[in-house]
Structure 1
Amino acid sequence: MMGAVSATGGYLKGRLRRQDILGAAIEVYAEAGYHGSSLREIAKRAGITHAGLIYYFPTKEALLAAVLEHRDTQDADRERFATTPPGREVLRRFITLAEHNVRNPGVVDLYARLAAEAVAADHPAHEYFQRHYRTARDIALKSFQALADRGELRDGVDPNATAVAFIALMDGLQVQWLTAAEDVDLVGILKSFVDNVLTSPLD
Structure 2
Amino acid sequence: MIFRPHEVIQFVYFPVTAIIAMEIDISDGTSAEIVLIGKEGMVGSGVMGGNQNFSRARVKFSGLAYKLPLTVFQSELSQDHAFLKIWMAVTRQMILQIAMPTVCSSKHSNEQQVIRWLMNTLDKTQGRVLQVTHQEIADTLGIRRESVTLTAGKLSQEGLLEVSRGQLRILDRPQLEARACECYRVMNPALKH
TM-score by length of structure 1 reads: 0.29
- Bigger fraction of residues in strand: 2
